[in-house]
Chains A and B, each alone.
Chain A
Amino acid sequence: MAILSRSEARRILDKTLKYSRAKEASAQLTGGETGNIRFARNSVSTSGVVNNTELMVEARFGKKSGIATINEFSDDALEKVMRRAEELAKLSPDNPEAMPLLGEQKYTSVNGFAKATATITPDERAKAAADSIAAAKKKKVTAAGYLEDARTFAAVANTKGLFGYHASTSANFTVTMRTENGLGSGWAQSDVTDFAAMHAGTTSQTAVNKAVESQKARALEPGKYTVILEPSAASGLLAFMMGNYSARSADEGRSFMSKKGGGNRIGEKLFDKRVHIYSDPADTNVPAQPWANSDFMPQQRTDWIENGVVKNLTRSRYWASQTKAKAIPEPNNLIMIGGDKSTAELIKSTRRGILVTRTWYIRMVDPQSLLLTGLTRDGTFYVENGQVKYPIKNFRFNESPIIMLNNLEELGRPERVGMWGFSAMIPALKVRDFTFSSLSDAV
């Protein structure tokens, strides 16, 4: 079963819900095809295609809820999955936080489906890998990379008249190039809706150049430096901030967004005034599913930070009901407004600083200050008087994105990056006093 049309999906969902003996029930149908090709040591290692469609059903008896899923679609199977959800609901204790199912909703119309990605062939996948390996061989470096492409749909319905349908495509390519002497490594990525806009050879060339140029790195003393974080490098830190952007944690006093004495910091200016971050499912650069997976709440344009001021935090319907505030679902994309400058132009205006290609193994150290630790990787360079001077050894950083967004010097042009399962538009960030705490010997 490949991508189901709106009417085919609706037919299955309606039929499933008819089997319900529970007071309320909802159903979600997701599926499609994903393909991938993986290569390393300048040779393809694995390649495959997975087709799957899955039906998830939730049955409700008052505050009791049960969830079951299935990937068969005969009438018997549809009835069986509903019975299983009902059985589990009856076995489960009451969930005092259960909210009534939503009624009919109006979802934003989103165009996130591209033909070239929908019709991608194994040969095209193989060509992407071959182009990357060819770029590597030309400069005597070694390529390791991964391309994953998807054509998917999602449809939701419930016994209270809710229905939604969304089809989308995406492709993500990452590649690491390493010099044969083991002294240089470069990385680049491409994240697109339309496979026609993906050029694995060009992306690979960026990684090859970084690998070649990053050889014979010099060691700088750890300390506070001005950094230019390329969009991928910046996104690693921003993902942690947005992943912990919950009103409930803040109101409960266990978040960097908690206010001394109680409550949260909505309305406070916590960041540089140029910081503006929002989500919008209809954004043409990063189109996204127009409802939340958790409870099918509509996704709308939501400002998280505007002029450096905290505008909104995510809030479940349960927590909204407890705090008499508006429910806001977790976003399906992220857009940070940037400037017009390319990364090269950001370098030009830098007297002394460090250019970071990629950040790696980022983990929370202290949730109170959102202090994170992680490392630079695959292309770190010293910049002086507007020019890249020489490659430097990688650093470990210990820094909070809150402090980072206060120490903003300049914003670059936003680029699309893959970020924790969704896509985001993130600019390169030039930031002063970024804290590097130790050196790493890793290449």
Chain B
Amino acid sequence: MDRRKFLQLSGTGLGISMLPLSGKLVAETKLTHSGMDIAVKKELADTALNTATKLGASYADVRIGRYLNQYVITREMKVNNVVNTESIGMGVRVLAKGTWGFAATNDMTSDGIARATAQAVATAKASSKSQQEPVQLAPVKGHGEVQWKTPIKKNALALPLAEKVDLLMAVNKSALDAGANFINSMLFLVNEQKYFASTDGSYIDQDVHRLWAPFTVTAIDKKSGGFRTRNGLSQPVGRGFEYLDGRAADKLQSQTVLYRDSYDMVEDAHLAAKQAQQKLTAKSVKPGKYDLVLDPSHLWLTIHESVGHPLELDRVLGYEANYAGTSFATIDKWRSGKFQYGSDKVNLVADKLQPGSLGAVGYDDEGVKTTNWDLVKDGVLVNYQAIRDQVHMLEQKQSHGCCYADSWSSVQFQRMANVSLLPGKETLSVDNMIKDVEKGIYIVGDGSFSIDQQRYNFQFGGQLFYEIENGKITGMLEDVAYQSNTQEFWNSCSQVCDQSDYRLGGSFFDGKGQPSQVSAVSHGSSTTRFDGVNVINTKRKLG
């Protein structure tokens, strides 16, 4: 199913512009059974690996996948749609004559799998004729038979539908009672059951869970014809339904309530309704240079666009030139060992292990045990994100373990790891950070975002903007967007709050590649200050 079809099903285009949906839709009762027996998966995987080897492949890997999704779509006191999907199949990737070949099938018989494997080998051999140089694969030691599971407490897919519908209805009622004119709320639940095997001797069974609960509240002033929205501050997570328990210990009091490892959706909807109405009459920002104090619920997206993407090695090398673009962070800059990506306060790490994050898995989609590594250390560019067939270009011996495919039917390729800004080493609270700002804006929540194809020039909006004057928050602002250049922006970073403020944000549907694939990735930070950033006023009048 493509995006347009899904939008028609959901009846709204709200906040799901990159939503993928493929596979069969299934009834609720089908979502809880455990799927194929592991011994059967091993037998099928061995069929593929043996066939590939026999046909001349020097390496092969196979992914047997069962992908389950559930989406619940509501507006006001109505459930617009409930969509369940299931997709089962197998993808086999082979290296023959130094060239990759890939094929996928949902025919899960020995014959079907052998046929697909033969097709993959044939494709590799045919493509080898136009290959410029053979693929060089970083070595991986076989892991034997291993398992990994997202540490969830409540499997969201296994809960009765009524419980999820009740939650969203309570959320919507909370917003409407607080004066919202409209609310759209949704639940996206994902479970990837992936079995990976390779000729290196790995048999890896993984059960990955993700969840996202976004909403948008709208407040309208009919008289003036004006309207304002406020999106929910939940973050997509690699957690179970317990994320929606909204524990008191996970709440941080600021201009609004901010959330750490669990989320109170009903409370946030109430606050959003109040704030959307407040936005209707908030002061329009005076354009100019401001010191920005950026909450993690906002900063994750700036990290994603201005650090995560430009440090993907395939972009740097030109493989994405026709679509997502290339990167300003070229190899020569990295090689110099002196490229000042940011100020000395800036330490950015890639991490595939972080608990609760969207990118956390035990092993990536080419059987590499996951890890974490530095990208920018004390402001200097020190590494990229690369996979098995890329690391040799960096004169490195080990893959970083960030290979991913969004389905059994898609070929795996390099995707973004969780990329995060490390907290400041010295004790610093948000209040103390704001106290030192003379003329600034405190921004909460992500909004409009746009960046050029080499990741220099960007513009970001937000959900809530508060004016800071002489160390105090003086009121709400509207029509705010900031523009900067990646290197200039990160070099203007003057302070990072400490570990106690550290939180994760993330993207549930990050698109890349042709044909496009999605992936989910988290970005952590503490509240961070950037000095003298250019702020524009986005208000326009129509005739």
Partners in one complex: yes
Please tell me if the beta carbons of A360 and B453 are within 8 angstroms of each other in the complex. Answer: yes
* CB within 8 Å for A440 and B181 given contacts A45-B319, A67-B83, A87-B27: no
CA of A270 to CA of B80 in the docked complex: distance in angstroms? 33
* A400 interface hit (Cβ, 8 Å): yes
Chain A residues in 8 Å Cβ range of B161 = 91-92
- Which single residue of chain A is at the shortest CB-CB distance from B224? A260
Q: Which residues of A contact B514 (CB under 8 A)?
A: 36, 38, 146, 148
Does B181 contact A253, Cβ atoms closer than 8 Å?
A: yes
Q: Given A40-B322, A44-B127, A396-B457, do A91 and B28 touch, yes or no (CB 8 Å)?
A: yes
* Bitwise interface map of A from 358 to 388 toward B, beta carbon under 8 Å scored 1, else 0: 0011111111111101110100000000000
**Once bound together, how far apart are the Cα atoms of A259 and B534, in whole Å?**
33
A194 to B5, CA, bound (A): 25
Q: Which of A53-86 contact B (CB under 8 A)?
A: 54, 56, 66-71, 84
Determine the chain A residues whose CB is within 8 A of the CB of B409 once the complex forms.
50
Residues on A with C-beta less than 8 A from B461 are 365
Q: Which of B100, B317, B540, B543 has the most CB of A within 10 A?
A: B540
- Name the contact of B452 in the complex, choosing from A126, A363, A442 (C-beta under 8 A): A442
**A215-256 vs B: 1/0 string, CB under 8 Å?**
000000000000000000000000000010000000011101
Given known pairs A46-B411, A441-B454, A442-B452, the reply for A84 and B132 (CB within 8 Å) is: no
Given A68-B25, A96-B78, A439-B457: A363 and B225 interface contact (C-beta under 8 Å): no
Q: Mark B453-467, 1 if CB is under 8 A from A, else 0.
A: 111110101000000
Q: Which residues of chain A have C-beta atoms less than 8 A from B459's C-beta?
A: 365, 373, 396, 398, 437-438
Q: Chain B residues near A161 (CB, 8 Å)?
A: none
* Whole-angstrom distance between the Cβ of A279 and the nearest chain B Cβ: 15
Query: Given the complex of chains A and B, what is the CA–CA distance between A71 and B106 in angstroms?
Result: 10
**Chain A residues, Cβ within 8 Å of B220:** 252-254
Which residues between 385 and 413 of chain A lie within 8 Å of chain B, taking CB atoms?
394, 396, 398, 400, 402-403, 406
Most chain B Cβ neighbours within 10 Å, of A146, A260, A363, A421: A363
A442/B457 contact (C-beta < 8 A), A88-B82, A293-B4 known: yes
Partner of B479, one of A95, A292, A366: A366
* Interchain CB contact under 8 A, B24 and A70: yes
With an 8 A cutoff between CB atoms, is A178 at the interface? yes
Contact: B540 with A88, CB < 8 Å?
no
Say yes or no for B123: interface residue by CB 8 A criterion. Answer: yes
* Known contacts A36-B515, A92-B161, A371-B538: A243-B13 contact under CB 8 Å: yes
* Closest CB in chain A relative to B179 CB, distance in Å: 14
Check B44 for interface membership: any CB of A closer than 8 A.
Answer: no
Roughly how many angstroms separate A92 CA and B25 CA in the complex, as a whole number?
A: 14
**B3 interface residue per 8 A CB criterion:** yes
Nearest CB of chain B from residue A131's CB, rounded to whole Å: 13
> Which A residues are in CB contact (< 8 Å) with B26?
68, 84
- Tell me which residues from 298 to 318 in chain A have a Cβ below 8 Å from any Cβ of chain B: 316
Are B84 and A88 touching (Cβ within 8 A)? yes
Find the residue from B223, B409, B459, B543 having the highest chain A CB count within 10 A. B459
Which A residues are CB-close (under 8 A) to B131? 43
Which residues of chain B come closer than 8 Å to A375, judged between CB atoms?
450, 452-453, 457
Interface centre among B131, B330, B542 (most CB of A within 10 A): B542
Interface string of B1-37 (1 = CB under 8 A from A): 1111100110101000000000111111110000000
Indicate whether A97 reaches chain B with its CB closer than 8 angstroms: yes
Is B79 located at the chain interface by the 8 A CB criterion?
Answer: yes
From B11, B79, B536, B543, contact of A437 by CB (8 A): B536
Give bound CA distance, A148 to B465, whole Å. 43
| Chain B residues positioned under 8 Å from A254 (CB to CB) | 181-182, 218, 220, 227, 229
Per the bound structure, the CA–CA distance linking A371 and B515 in Å amounts to 29
Is B141 in the interface zone, CB < 8 Å from A?
no
Contact A270 B543 (CB under 8 A): yes
Known: A363-B448, A371-B540, A440-B457. A97 touches B319 (CB 8 A): no
Q: A84-B27, A258-B225 are in contact. Are A69 and B1 (CB under 8 A)?
A: yes
Complex contacts, B323 vs chain A, CB 8 Å: 146
Could you tell me if A441 and B456 are in contact, using CB atoms closer than 8 angstroms? Answer: yes
Q: Is A170 in contact with chain B by the CB < 8 A criterion?
A: no
CB distance B222 to A262 under 8 Å? yes
Residue of A nearest to B449 (CB): A363
Q: Which residues of B contact A97 (CB under 8 A)?
A: 11, 78, 80
Q: Is A174 part of the binding interface, using a Cβ–Cβ cutoff of 8 Å?
A: yes
Q: Is the CB of A178 within 8 A of B318?
A: yes
Residues of chain B lying within 8 A (CB to CB) of residue A92? 79, 82, 161
In the assembled complex, which residues on chain B have CB atoms less than 8 Å from the CB atom of A394? 452, 457
Contact with A along B65-103 (1 / 0, CB 8 A): 000000000000011111111000000000000001010
Q: Which residues of B lie under 8 Å from residue A95 when comparing CB positions?
A: 78-81
Residues of A within 8 A of B165 (CB): 93
Please report which residues of chain B, range 302-354, place their CB below 8 angstroms from some CB of chain A when the two chains form the complex: 317-323, 325-326, 328, 330
Q: How many residues of A contact B (CB 8 A)?
A: 88
Interface residue count on the B side (C-beta < 8 Å): 85
A294 within 8 A of B: yes
Contact with A253, one of B79, B80, B227, B456 (Cβ below 8 angstroms)? B227
**Nearest-CB distance from B166 to chain A (Å)?**
10
Chain B 232-251, CB-CB to A under 8 Å as 1, else 0, gives 00000000000000000000
Q: Report the Cα distance A279→B452, complex, angstroms.
A: 32
- Residue ID in chain B nearest A255 by CB atoms: B227
Collect the chain B residues with CB atoms within 8 Å of residue A367's CB. Answer: 227, 229
Most buried by A among B81, B100, B409, B514: B514
Min C-beta distance of A59 to chain B, whole Å: 11
Known contacts being A254-B218, A363-B449, is A406 close to B227, with CB within 8 Å?
no
Tell whether B485 is near chain A: CB-to-CB under 8 Å.
Answer: yes
Closest chain B residue to A96, Cβ basis: B78
- Say yes or no: A377-B452 contact (C-beta < 8 A), given A176-B321, A442-B328, A442-B457: yes
Is the pair B411, A145 in contact by a Cβ cutoff of 8 Å?
no
- A403 to B321 alpha-carbon distance, docked (Å): 32
Would B321 and A366 count as touching, CB distance under 8 A? no
- B169 to A, closest residue via Cβ: A93
CA distance A396 to B485 in the complex (A): 12
In the complex, what distance in Å separates the CA atom of A126 from the CA atom of B126?
11
A301-B26 Cα distance, complex, nearest whole Å: 37
Question: CB-CB < 8 A to B225: which residues of A?
Answer: 253, 258-261
Report the minimum CB–CB distance from A394 to chain B (whole Å): 7
- Cβ-closest chain B residue relative to A69: B25
Bound-state Cα–Cα, A362 to B452, Å: 10
Is B47 at the interface (CB under 8 A from chain A)?
no
Q: A41 at the A/B interface (Cβ < 8 Å)? A: yes
Chain B: which residue is nearest A439 at the CB level? B457
B483 contacts the other chain (CB 8 A)? yes
A88 and B322 contact, CB distance less than 8 A: no
CA–CA, A256 and B541, complex, Å:
10
Interface residues of A (CB under 8 A from B): 36, 38, 40-48, 50, 54, 56, 66-71, 84, 87-88, 91-93, 95-97, 126, 142, 144-146, 148, 174-176, 178, 182, 187, 243, 252-254, 256, 258-262, 270, 292-294, 316, 360-371, 373-375, 377, 394, 396, 398, 400, 402-403, 406, 420-421, 437-443
Task: List 7 tightest A-B contacts by C-beta distance, closest first.
Answer: A440-B457, A144-B321, A260-B225, A442-B454, A442-B452, A294-B8, A369-B540
For the complex with contacts A40-B320, A439-B457, 9 further pairs of A-B residues with Cβ separation under 8 Å are A56-B1, A66-B82, A71-B106, A91-B82, A144-B318, A254-B220, A437-B459, A441-B454, A442-B328
Interface residues of B, Cβ cutoff 8 Å to A: 1-5, 8-9, 11, 13, 23-30, 78-85, 100, 102, 106, 123, 127, 130-132, 161, 165, 181-182, 218, 220, 222-227, 229, 317-323, 325-326, 328, 330, 409, 411, 448-457, 459, 461, 479, 481, 483, 485, 514-515, 534, 536, 538-543
A-B contact pairs, 18 of them (CB 8 A): A44-B127, A44-B130, A46-B100, A56-B25, A68-B25, A69-B24, A95-B80, A95-B81, A97-B78, A175-B322, A260-B224, A373-B450, A396-B452, A403-B542, A437-B459, A437-B536, A441-B328, A442-B456
